[in-house]
Structure 1
Amino acid sequence: MSIPFQIVILGGGTAGWMAANLFAHKWADKVASKALQISLIESPDIGIVGVGEGSTPTLKRFFEMLNIPDKDWMAKCNATYKMNIAFTGFSPASGIERYSHPFISQIDTFTQRAFMVNSRTRRMGLDTHTASEDFLLNGTLAKQVKGPQTPDNFPFSIEYGYHFDSHLLGAYLQDHAISLGVMHVQANVEAVTRHPNGDIASLQCKDGRDINGHFFVDCSGFASVLMHKTLGVKFISYKDNLFNDAAVVVPTPMGEHIPVETISTALSAGWCWKIPLTNRFGNGYVYSSDFIDANQAESELKQHLQLEDNQECRHLSMRVGALEKQWQNNCLAVGLSAGFIEPLEATALHITQIAIEQFIMAFEEGEFSNRLQDEFNHKMHKRLERTRDYIVAHYKLNTRDDSDYWRANRSNVHLSESLKQILDVWYKCGDLDNEIKRQDLTTHFNAVSWNCLLAGYGAFPPLAANQPGKGDLYQEQNIAQFVHGCALNFQSHKSNLFR
């Protein structure tokens, strides 16, 4: 009997179990025929940080691929729907206290061009309406606290993300992966052996077990045990671009109405998330330790949330940056072991899922060899850097003047050429959509998302002295009536969750 091809995943959590599920689902026939064995090694001694976490709509596609309906997993993970991210206090000098980045749905094809045209004419000094949440349906649904489920006679698909307890989601994905044939091994790995050619050979456990594999997946978190510590792949810090390196987190009670959006609020040395779960709010202050210490950050978070001084909080550290390569020798890094871009736009799981999907395609096309390794690494490197650019823009464009932190972000000159070109086109009243296409960025953050950000920060010149009294497509195309008419098809968020 031939030996099965063995994939060994080091580390559980959401990233590890997401990889296990996608491998087992994609290669189900090989698992069933014993040609492939997938094992996940998880230390019983390492705790999981169960914070409230948000996703992009990519996670919706993940569950659709696995044929898991929302009702089967959401209740078990205290999950809620997410239609929008609201940003408060990032650009007060513009006169815009709050702006939205709604997830873009199929029906927005009727209104998104008007939004982008209005943003461009506003850059030319015309007084036009540029609030993204008034053009894009999910922004309106968020304001009305409505969920994404539609009646059968509504002919358009709606994109949405989720909020969830990350610890509970990891446990759910663990059970599902095991049902697909994944082996779960609880053990503490204390050494890694390698073949003469540099490939990883086995994981040596504290209890004496030696776990061999043909291919390894590093999901060991910031420790990056296999890729960084064993294979020596260089870590590239984003410290010059993104200053935040720590967080303090605390839960608060849920009110009567469960929102369908993440709220991100600028504080003195970073920003605070507020994520609604069915049983509580998850809150966290992401900050730079160069500008505020842990005790000060905890006090500021408590003051922001109006909590008592004796409220217990948890402190986390973050390593913001990415490995030079995500696939080296016979090892793939996924999740925090590959890199982390701070959670301002909830991109962590999105990048994790994309990396796994791209690897599966490259590994298959390369006939389960390293033939397409360089191409994969190039794609993922570009995706990480362009995602980083979008996050950097949130800080670079701020108009706060209340702390050294925000002033330092605004004066930061460490910008990529890609970001410089986007901002140059914007401020010179060029066609941002064409620039996004020219740079081939549509699979990262598209032109609509960039317009949400730049218009939301009020990155416009003063209004022209003489206004023509026309040219505002929001008014001329009666978009308010169209969007609010569409919203009539939707029910309350709570009814979507507990039906």
Structure 2
Amino acid sequence: MNSEKQNAESQNINNKPLHLVILGGGTAGWMAANLFAKKWSAHNIKITLVESPDIGIIGVGEGSTPSLKRFFEMIEVDESQWMPRCNATYKVNIRFDGWSPASGVNSYSHPFFSQVDTFTAKSFTVNCQTRRLGLDTHTQPEDFILNGLLAKQGKSPVAPDNFPFQMEYGYHFDSHLLGKFLAECAVARGVNHLKENVMAVEQHVNGDIAALKTKSGNTIAGDFFIDCSGFAAVLMQKTLGVKFNSYKDNLFNDSAIVMPTPISESIPVETVSTALSAGWCWKIPLQNRFGNGYVYSSDFISTDAAETELRRHLNCLDSSEQARHLKMKVGRLETHWANNCIGLGLSQGFIEPLEATALHLVQISLEFFMERFEQGGFSNKNRDEFNTKLAKRFDGVRDYIVAHYKLNTRTDSDYWRANRDNTNISDSLYQVLDVWYKCEDLTKEIESQQIGSYFDAMSWHCLLAGYGVFPPLAKNQPNKGDLYKEKKVQQFLHGCALNFG
């Protein structure tokens, strides 16, 4: 073969598009399609999304963290474009009701932190330290964070032009509608959308995935695959044999019941999580309804009893509204990137939606994958680094969720007692709690463990202070040292809140 022919063949190989094939739609699949199409538009990359016309999305996750705000900024879609289409509302806060009654805390909040909160954060953490020493200080998290006050006042977090600080917030949304909207965006950006039932998966000799075989007889060959097939994990588990690491020993909940109720005249800007006998119930406000769901452990309550408890909680025992029953597979893949495939969304793992981390984990996974894939020349070069980081991220989020159960002070059921008595906690979580109980520097511990990118020191302070994890008050009080009063935090935040409507 002469050099001219060799160069010509090399040119053809180099000009061949890299074909990314996404198996499964839903929010995870369409988020991936949009980010690939937007960020890699200058590269010679072809994107195909294959989804079954017969399998619907679970559609339970209807709340987000502020990372979703960043996602829409990355794909250059304004709130005015997507929020009305998805019945979306703003979310500034998660309120927890009834998780720690014995500590005297009937309700506490975990607001999202914004730039302005840097002025009050130290007062909050110092007050928590002072209270851990037995002195009487103000430690309600929502009273130190602007979004906590906006939640109480029912105000939108969208900052006016004259407000000089960046505001952070999440959203509530209809996940079915969001999936449809993102599909339209991706197709408009050139993503090839195929509605096909995949019947078989072909592999190369080295184990890499070669192609998807559909019921209609089509063969969809690809260079790299993204498994968004849900709990089925068709590519990662069924084809590549990746092990699933269950969190069952850490997190007992494995089931959920979902049903809507009418929306109130005034729409809240927070999610409410209420402890029930064998789990907890979310209440998420959309423009047209409240989304409600009972996340519970089937080891402690039957399906029928759980539905009755949910209906009683919602004051709709006589309602004809049908409830949906779901099973959850809580845990993560041992490796999130195997061969020429990554798992994404429910295919890579699931941690119950207590802190609305599902889409956050999808987005973080996507961003880190795209960065490492491109830096490695669109090869597997950085696969091990990706897997190490994602495993730590999932386990770190798990630990924060586990802490909610471990620290509960309920005594009304075996479920809550079993959670409190559970000794299956990680060394990382044990160390965080040990530092808190010993009145040592929690912020320093979070930094030392390098887990602040999952939930930072302020989030841990919100959880621990919110639960009232403090010793009894000392008999002799100096009646000073409460920075909430001395730094006039209330006055400062109320002044800031005047800028919002």
Please say if residues 51 and 167 of structure 1, whose CA atoms lie closer than 8 Å, have aligned partners that are also in contact: no
1:195 maps to which residue?
204
For residue 465 of structure 1, give the secondary structure of its aligned residue in structure 2: coil
Query: What is the total number of aligned residue pairs between the two structures?
Result: 487
Structure 2 counterparts to residues 286-305 of structure 1, below 5 A: 286-305=295-314
2:151 maps to which residue?
142
Scaled by the length of structure 1, the TM-score of the pair is 0.97
Please say if residues 84 and 139 of structure 1, whose CA atoms lie closer than 8 Å, have aligned partners that are also in contact: yes
2:8 maps to which residue?
none
CA distance in 1, matches of 2:58, 2:456: 32
1:14 maps to which residue?
27
Q: Which of 127, 130, 133 matches 1:124?
A: 133
CA distance in 1, matches of 2:61, 2:213: 34
Please say if residues 52 and 196 of structure 2, whose CA atoms lie closer than 8 Å, have aligned partners that are also in contact: yes
User: Given residue 258 of structure 1, which amino acid in structure 2 is its aligned partner?
Assistant: I
Please say if residues 249 and 283 of structure 1, whose CA atoms lie closer than 8 Å, have aligned partners that are also in contact: yes
- The answer to whether the aligner puts 1:463 opposite 2:473 as a matched pair is yes
- Stretch of structure 1 that moved more, 307-316 or 67-76: 307-316
User: Given residue 149 of structure 2, which amino acid in structure 1 is its aligned partner?
Assistant: T
For residue 491 of structure 2, give the secondary structure of its aligned residue in structure 1: helix
Please say if residues 344 and 365 of structure 2, whose CA atoms lie closer than 8 Å, have aligned partners that are also in contact: yes
For residue 42 of structure 2, give the secondary structure of its aligned residue in structure 1: helix
CA distance in 2, matches of 1:272, 1:264: 6
2:7 maps to which residue?
none
Alpha-carbon deviations, 1:183-225, whole Å to 9, x = none? 0000000100100000000000000001000000000000000
For residue 400 of structure 1, give the secondary structure of its aligned residue in structure 2: coil
2:254 maps to which residue?
245
Please say if residues 373 and 382 of structure 2, whose CA atoms lie closer than 8 Å, have aligned partners that are also in contact: yes
1:446 maps to which residue?
456
Structure 2 counterparts to residues 95-494 of structure 1, below 5 A: 95-309=104-318, 310-491=320-501
User: Given residue 434 of structure 2, which amino acid in structure 1 is its aligned partner?
Assistant: D
Alpha-carbon deviations, 1:406-461, whole Å to 9, x = none? 00000000000000000000000001000000001121100000000000000000
For residue 466 of structure 1, give the secondary structure of its aligned residue in structure 2: coil
Which runs of 5 or more structure 1 residues have no equivalent in the other structure?
A: 492-499
1:494 maps to which residue?
none
Alpha-carbon deviations, 1:160-179, whole Å to 9, x = none? 00000000000000000011
Please say if residues 108 and 467 of structure 2, whose CA atoms lie closer than 8 Å, have aligned partners that are also in contact: yes
For residue 181 of structure 1, give the secondary structure of its aligned residue in structure 2: coil
Cα RMSD (Å) of the superposition? 0.8
Which runs of 5 or more structure 2 residues have no equivalent in the other structure?
A: 1-11
User: Given residue 122 of structure 1, which amino acid in structure 2 is its aligned partner?
Assistant: R
Please say if residues 258 and 276 of structure 1, whose CA atoms lie closer than 8 Å, have aligned partners that are also in contact: yes
Deviation at 1:50, TM superposition (A): 3.5
Please say if residues 84 and 260 of structure 1, whose CA atoms lie closer than 8 Å, have aligned partners that are also in contact: yes
Alpha-carbon deviations, 1:297-325, whole Å to 9, x = none? 10000000000344310101100000000
- The answer to whether the aligner puts 1:3 opposite 2:16 as a matched pair is yes
- Identity, in percent, stands at 67
CA distance in 2, matches of 1:475, 1:250: 43
Q: Which of 39, 43, 58 matches 2:48?
A: 39
Please say if residues 52 and 282 of structure 1, whose CA atoms lie closer than 8 Å, have aligned partners that are also in contact: no
CA distance in 1, matches of 2:221, 2:377: 21
CA distance in 2, matches of 1:160, 1:238: 29
Deviation at 1:52, TM superposition (A): 6.0
For residue 360 of structure 1, give the secondary structure of its aligned residue in structure 2: helix
Please say if residues 61 and 356 of structure 2, whose CA atoms lie closer than 8 Å, have aligned partners that are also in contact: no
Scaled by the length of structure 2, the TM-score of the pair is 0.96
For residue 255 of structure 1, give the secondary structure of its aligned residue in structure 2: coil
For residue 89 of structure 1, give the secondary structure of its aligned residue in structure 2: strand
- The answer to whether the aligner puts 1:27 opposite 2:36 as a matched pair is no
- Stretch of structure 1 that moved more, 163-172 or 43-52: 43-52
